[in-house]
Structure 1
């Protein structure tokens, strides 16, 4: 069963899409834009790639796609290029642009880069979305399938463009594509057909883009589009928003995270009761990732893998070796008896809440970044129970201090390095310092990766200083 439905334009004989000679404008020439431009050119389309950045700020793949016949325009987007296209392809992170809206109003089709990949995909798809946990679950499912001997591709929002899966080793009916999908990708995707679709959670995020939580949730619910009664929709038990969205589709709805569901924790075991399979029990002690939220991520992954016929031994081996992804509750150092955790990927309030709740000791929270809407209220109880001080950075620091400063002492720092030093001064042995910003990084950093790396380097500098002073700088 392929991963694309049969809706959309440019239909060709025998499946796929006939784009030969059609004009495509690809907006954004980072890794994803380059991948989709390369695919379209390979299929005979007339492709123009556009990016506001100068050439020296773009990846080296620009030269490759130019050699493949892609015309590259850098700087302001000429309106005539967009209005003259048959289709505009939007890369992730491209904001709503007035020139794109004008072209769309004039009848130009506008799609996500995921949509283009789906046009030719032959492999079955496991689609993963939600506000938090997507990357961890996507990686776990992929690794379980890989260890089980199945050709597998993981990508889309995770980093590798879905376009790169086309004609690859996993792009067969016997292979598997595990696609992490953001709301930005789903809102302009109409051909998705997932064999297994997971909606992990929906909390306030990207309200600056979608306008309201209801609108954001509706976009997330598009992960269930085109599913049939033979497919599976997976949601967390008791999440009313996710359950409602899944019920609007046609797939069989399965749940995880509570006793009596298809995947839950019972005593010291993780239990999976997927339809059409024998009950599976694995020791909870296999888990190498911290926090109750990561136990839920593991349960969702186990249920999906079981439905996808992954051997239990491969599932157990993966749980026993997977220590988490970078910048997600990653222990980056211990200095003078204080543990330092990098959760720079916590770019919304819900993710920060899960990070705080995952601490097994009191902690100093380093938070703040670019404001994007939403309430801080969900953090209050967890902060009251687990946080002894907050150090704030970025554009949102004053707003966060105004809302949370009545709970614990709050202070502000101009740089992340200063924030780490202030947190280190406040923390005592047996406590933790947690970077869980609750916001995106773009006010001070290139991305969450740079922010996390800078945090880790600041911790390493603390360790070096402690070593020079004869202290414990592990």
Structure 2
């Protein structure tokens, strides 16, 4: 029975809180608001949400099968899940009726009494969030890590001893957050993503930059002007970048012998070869974590120790194995062009000095992106492009139109199994320059997989299978 109490008995004056969308964040909101003594209703477009059985018994109004407009119009406040667009008809009607629409992150920041490190960006936000959280933990700080990274922000409030909160925030979460008030906030980088949701880069940029509202300090990327907040210049700020840094900033110093160092000002902090993760993008991630940690008050020596033990995250340019002298990397989390560009450039620069090229697996659901932007890096570092998924034909057309070099061979493989059949043929040739295989699809996975992680796990399985066949 979906509705226990008739909706006509519910009035705005009762303070009804309506949760829209019953994923993990929606469930956390329902539990939190119920514990706070609110009257809570839940609505979801699925007819039988899998998490419905975990709702508190006190949530006695449950409208499933569609987002219920009538229910939303009776709300005092609506808490919307990240996966529900603000353009949903029922949500539009509620906003037109001046009913507040907020996210779980808004509830968290209103209740949180400890400093918040807030992290967003088109790419690498999970890696940097994890790094900062580990740096804090290694420094002996009771830290909560959550948000878009998997643990709903509200769940962190159960830790009564939490002294620092580190949040990964998506553009979907941020578009309904006002005055986050973070101790330190950053937009790591900006590249086209989720344009099917935000409409254009301006809408995407505006959503991301809500992270700076009320921030006490900021970290910016010197190489990406779109990461700079339009806030007062007197805010403490630290920058990161690939070039030698100015005093008090982070960057890279390269010695005459080619050795690269993470640096703060003129001080060499750590040589790049001491890091277990590879590629220039990971050196930028390390800088961002150091800068965020500095502004959050973490000790530098402890942060540098954490960096030396960090092995990276699953499905994020993750080293899988070496098979027949070829390295395999799982970057299934590379679901947009910017992420894939970072992976190609980062790994390509590692193998180029050895006259090696990458074999790149691209494809899936393209999300309206322009894949021609990949061409300069593909021409520089890639010899084979294997295309899979729903938009593979369109992606190949974009690459061709952007003047992909004739000596970069393209293969339409449809699936990962098809790609691995092609990999066997390509790498068997004595003329092959391929030294590394990189799965970095630049696309969503939902045409063929339940998630990017499922796609990455399948890739890893196929690598293991290939190893047994060699």
The offset of 1:152, in angstroms, is 0.4
Matched, 1:157 2:141: no
For residues 58 and 314 of structure 2, the distance between their equivalents in structure 1, rounded to whole angstroms, comes to 34
- How many pairs were matched up? 434
Stretch moving more, 333-342 or 362-371: 333-342
Distance 1:38 1:369, change over 3 A: same
- Listed one character per residue, the Cα deviations across residues 190-226 of structure 1 (whole Å, up to 9, x for unaligned) are 1300111111111111111111112211221111101
Distance 1:438 1:458, change over 3 A: same
For residues 276 and 14 of structure 2, the distance between their equivalents in structure 1, rounded to whole angstroms, comes to 51
The offset of 1:300, in angstroms, is 0.9
The offset of 1:439, in angstroms, is 1.1
1:115 pairs, out of 75, 89, 106, with: 106
Matched, 1:166 2:157: yes
For residues 190 and 30 of structure 2, the distance between their equivalents in structure 1, rounded to whole angstroms, comes to 32
Matched, 1:306 2:288: no
Matched, 1:289 2:283: no
The runs of at least 4 aligned residues of structure 1 exceeding 4 Å deviation read 246-250
Equivalences for residues 443-454 of structure 1 within 5 A: 443-454=447-458
Stretch moving more, 23-32 or 175-184: 23-32
Contact 1:20/1:43 (8 A) holds in 2: no
2:111 counterpart SS class: coil
Matched, 1:92 2:79: no
Equivalences for residues 15-414 of structure 1 within 5 A: 22-55=15-48, 58-59=50-51, 62-69=52-59, 71-95=61-85, 96-171=87-162, 175-227=163-215, 231-243=216-228, 245-247=229-231, 251-257=235-241, 258-261=243-246, 262-267=249-254, 268-272=260-264, 281-359=269-347, 360-361=350-351, 362-405=357-400, 406-407=404-405, 408-414=408-414
For residues 59 and 233 of structure 2, the distance between their equivalents in structure 1, rounded to whole angstroms, comes to 41
The offset of 1:247, in angstroms, is 4.2
Which residue does 1:12 correspond to in 2?
Answer: none
1:66 counterpart SS class: coil
For residues 151 and 279 of structure 1, the distance between their equivalents in structure 2, rounded to whole angstroms, comes to 30
The offset of 1:366, in angstroms, is 0.7
Contact 2:30/2:59 (8 A) holds in 1: no
The offset of 1:140, in angstroms, is 0.6
The offset of 1:79, in angstroms, is 1.9
Contact 1:127/1:223 (8 A) holds in 2: yes
Contact 1:38/1:68 (8 A) holds in 2: no
- Listed one character per residue, the Cα deviations across residues 2-55 of structure 1 (whole Å, up to 9, x for unaligned) are xxxxxxxxxxxxxxxxx9952112122221111111111111111112223354
For residues 456 and 34 of structure 2, the distance between their equivalents in structure 1, rounded to whole angstroms, comes to 36
2:173 counterpart SS class: helix
- Listed one character per residue, the Cα deviations across residues 394-427 of structure 1 (whole Å, up to 9, x for unaligned) are 2221111112144322122232222232234223
Contact 1:263/1:299 (8 A) holds in 2: yes
For residues 377 and 364 of structure 1, the distance between their equivalents in structure 2, rounded to whole angstroms, comes to 17
Q: TM-score, normalised by structure 2?
A: 0.87
Structure 2 runs not aligned, ≥5 long: 1-11, 255-259, 352-356
Stretch moving more, 356-365 or 307-316: 307-316
Structure 1 runs not aligned, ≥5 long: 1-18
Contact 1:336/1:429 (8 A) holds in 2: no
